[in-house]
Amino acid sequence: MVFSSIYFLCLFLPAVMMLYFIIPGKFRNILLLIASLIFYGWGEPVYIWLMVFSIAVNYICGLQIDRTENRAKRLALLVFCLIADLGILGFFKYTDFAIENINKISGSSIALLRLALPVGISFYTFQTLSYVIDVYRGNVRAQKNIIDFGMYICMFPQLIAGPIVRYIDVEGQLKNREVDEDAVWSGLVRFSAGLFKKVLFANQVGLIWSEISSLTTRPMATAWLGAICFTFQIYFDFSGYSDMAIGLGRIFGFNFPENFRYPYEADSITEFWRRWHITLSTWFREYLYIPLGGNRCNVIRQILNLLIVWALTGIWHGAGWNFLLWGLYYFLLLTLEKFVFKNILKKTPAVLRHVIALLLTVFGWVIFACDDINVLTGYIGTLFGSQGMANSMSAYYLSTNALLLIVMALASTHYPKALCGKILSRLDEKQVYLFELLFVMGCVGLSIVFLIGDTYNPFLYFRF
Amino acid sequence: MKDIKFTTFYLSMMVLFFIGLAILLKPASDYSENENRTLKTLNKYNVSDIMEGVFQEDLANFLCDQFPKRDAAMAVSACIKTMLGKRDMQDTYIGENHYYFEKVTDDDINVENYKRNLGRLNALCENRDALSMTVMLVPSSGVILSDCLPAFASIYDADALYDMAELMLEGTMINPSEALRAAHARGEYIYYRTDHHWTTYGAYIGYTCLMEDGAYTDYNPTSVCDDFLGTLHSRVLLSDAKCDEVFIATEDAAVSIDGQSSTLYHMDALGVKDKYQVFLGGNYGLVELEGQGNGTLLILKDSFANCFVPYLLSDYERIIMVDMRFYPASVANLIDTENITDVLVLYELNNFANDKNLAKLTM
């Protein structure tokens, strides 16, 4: 199930919300668990068993690690659990990719599994890992209540697209949550904003990207415009989803960590990754980079650590060479920034630094977006003018989308929020409420209108 | 204040849920006239439908298709998009002077298929020395009315396609572009604003290109309706569309459609959404018409021929129209059994280029 759909907005979400607040507090976690399992299994109900299995394995391992004093036994349990979690992730996400490449190299023709990817598996696997690792490290006690634990693993607000909530961050909230009316309201406001970003920005600009990326003749100007469109699409899609997740979490009484902090305002790649998908970077830092030795070792080892982290970050995003390439691209940029250009960048004017960072990011998204290597090399060629500089349609795409792009450029900075904050600080409580009410109604109303409008699908085959 | 906020929240959830329930419970409508397609309705489902996700997918489509005031939602979103500067939606350009155009760029033209189709026409003439074939491909409205396209918008290169046909075709090729351009320059109404077809007058221009001294000379049209919103309008549903006027310019006549007797004009079509169906009532595999002239003419056609064929009734005794999309039998057989000597191929240019049904000509 996805948030930006009519059945979620008009059936699932309101039904869960209405029930959640009228049932006694002790049943709320059960409700959330059941709702989340339905949400998870909506497309592929059979995978509910997979989720139940994952919950059971991690629950038992966590408890056993917590109970055992023997260090070797604890380690064995941890390793067992990691293999189980990563094995499931690897099996569902990477088997076909591996088979394809084995077939290509050896000329064999092993049949692909063609399994549907269980929704959110990359996200919730990282959540379960954070749990067992932190239990192993003794940072947190094991969860004894399997319902609370199961709810944490598959909670529908952040199941599909994060943020990756570490167990240690929400442990206390699993049991003791009060209904806070202000939080419920601000959660609704946050959710509405996220929905708006997803439906009115990401989906619309996505149409332009898909049109431009499928052109057979694509001059340089059009190619860059397309890449910029994808840059906005992925940001508003992803951060919109995070906003919706954080908003829903807040309504249920959770405090999820922020996932984005205006990444396109970054003036270096290092800074970009402090602002983009923060919970993923945090996860990799906590559970991989630092255990590997982080930057407390010699330069060669540091670079090796970065290489491992970024190769895995790349491949985490998808089973394809382009994702690995995308990860390595950032490894290269970050390494250069850290060890070669550090001092030069310090002397570079801020505007120029910003422009460079943006250009590199936009280029990176092209690698990310083209999951076929031939398509990718073709697209990169057009970025450098392999099919000419510009044509009439370049001007057409630019002129008909300029306003949308400007609006999105502004919306991806901190200014709109700062401006709203300024306005709201001058209003009294009641006026703020009215302002927010209009905002919610506008965002949700327009989103539904656009969701319906985009399914409007004239049947064009018969041209009567 | 806290209570008010929470109550608002709870009420808004109830409103959303009410909308969802209302869609589920209200009687489902099963056809969308604007979109010319059936809408999703729900069947009976069992457990295995749920396990395979069939029910879930149907429910998703059902809720979207049956959402109240769907067309209005579409119109609002289209209106907002145009305010933001967007000038094309659903492959339709929103042009100047309330004109809509099909967005067909060079990328959308299948040149290989075009060449194959031209080759198929040549093959049909092979070994039939008595057969004289004329090919008239009509440029899309955007080609002729290029001054009304949105700024910088481009349309496919029709001239290149005509040059290619000139080079390849063994029969006669008629290119009505110049005459149509001249008529447009005079301010004539040759293409509908909200539909991709040419108007009755546009077709008349085409007729004068085809027949240098045709029997039909006295162009004297009658307006039959002035509230036509065509298929291009259906794609965008913008509220500032300007309705088109439909004319007919000849007497009605008896025709036979797929063996059933019918009429040239279908006035009852003026009561439905697609008023272009006033001409012959739509597209059919085989239409036979009795005229006042001499000889038999076979027309291989798309819908552009529907408002064109009336003029030819003055010139031929008998006209057979075949629409390859709906004609299952062999055209070659038809030519041989009916002793046909004249063939006219009449298509919209881009439709001809991308049409896959001409492959059936080799049957």
Per-residue pLDDT of chain B (363 residues; tens, 9 = 90+): 788 899 999 999 999 999 989 888 888 777 777 666 777 777 788 888 778 788 888 888 888 878 878 888 888 988 999 999 999 988 899 999 999 999 999 989 999 999 999 999 998 888 888 888 999 999 999 999 999 999 999 999 999 999 999 999 888 899 999 999 999 999 999 999 999 999 999 999 999 999 988 888 888 899 999 999 998 998 888 888 899 999 998 888 889 998 889 999 999 989 888 899 999 998 999 999 998 888 899 999 999 999 999 999 999 999 999 999 999 888 888 888 988 889 999 999 999 999 999 888 887
Residue A154 has pLDDT above 80, yes or no: yes
CB atoms within 10 A of CB A173: 16
B-chain residue closest to A458, CA distance: B35
Kindly determine whether residue A463 and residue B196, on different chains, have CB atoms separated by under 8 Å: yes
CB atoms within 10 A of CB A282: 18
Kindly determine whether residue A10 and residue B20, on different chains, have CB atoms separated by under 8 Å: yes
Bridge partners for B89 per DSSP: B92
Work out the pLDDT band at A79, boundaries 50, 70, 90. very high
User: B95, B189, B108: which is closest to B147 by C-alpha?
Assistant: B95
Residue numbers in A near B63 (CB within 8 A): 6-7, 10-11
Q: Are B221 and B203 in contact (CB under 8 A)?
A: no
Structural domain boundaries in chain B: 2-68, 92-362
User: A66, A169, A84, A72: which is closest to A129 by C-alpha?
Assistant: A84
Cα torsion for A447, A443, A437, A413, to the nearest 10°?
A: 160
Which of A44, A396, A458 lies closest to B90 in CB terms? A458
CA separation for the pair A371, B106 (Å, rounded): 26
CA separation for the pair A437, A189 (Å, rounded): 8
In the DSSP assignment, the letter for residue B264 is S
CA separation for the pair A341, A266 (Å, rounded): 16
C-alpha distances in Å from residue A97, one per residue of A50, A115, A309: 21, 12, 20
Decide: helix, strand or coil at residue A143. coil
Residue numbers in A near B105 (CB within 8 A): 393
- The pTM (predicted TM-score) of the whole model is 0.90
CA separation for the pair B45, B214 (Å, rounded): 62
Task: Say what the pLDDT of residue A456 is.
Answer: 56
SS3 readout for A26-43: HHHHHHHHHHHHHHHHCC
Cα torsion for B55, A240, A36, A169, to the nearest 10°?
A: 170
Work out the pLDDT band at A463, boundaries 50, 70, 90. very low
C-alpha distances in Å from residue A31, one per residue of A35, B12, B244, B267: 6, 20, 57, 60
Element (H, E) at B112: helix B111-125
CB atoms within 10 A of CB A452: 23
Q: Where are the beta strands (DSSP E) in B88-174?
A: 88-89, 92-94, 100-102, 132-138, 172-174
C-alpha distances in Å from residue B298, one per residue of B112, B169, B308: 26, 18, 14
Chain B 299-318, residues with CB within 8 Å of chain A CB atoms: 302-303
Residue numbers in B near A14 (CB within 8 A): 13-14, 16-17, 20
B-chain residue closest to A2, CA distance: B60
User: A66, A2, A32: which is closest to A237 by C-alpha?
Assistant: A2
Bridge partners for B344 per DSSP: B134, B299
Question: Within an 8 Å CB–CB cutoff, is residue B152 touching chain A?
Answer: yes
Question: Within an 8 Å CB–CB cutoff, is residue B63 touching chain A?
Answer: yes
Residue A459 has pLDDT above 70, yes or no: no
Task: Say what the pLDDT of residue A464 is.
Answer: 37
Closest chain B C-alpha to A113 CA, distance in angstroms: 17
Residue numbers in B near A190 (CB within 8 A): none
CA separation for the pair B156, B350 (Å, rounded): 8
The per-residue b/e assignment along A27-40, b for 16 or more CB within 10 angstroms, e otherwise, is ebbeebbebbbebb
Task: Say what the pLDDT of residue B212 is.
Answer: 84
Kindly determine whether residue A6 and residue B64, on different chains, have CB atoms separated by under 8 Å: yes
Kindly determine whether residue A396 and residue B107, on different chains, have CB atoms separated by under 8 Å: no
Contacts of B336-340 with C-beta under 8 Å, sequence gap 24+, read B338/B296, B338/B298, B339/B296, B340/B131, B340/B296, B340/B297, B340/B298
Active site residue A277: no
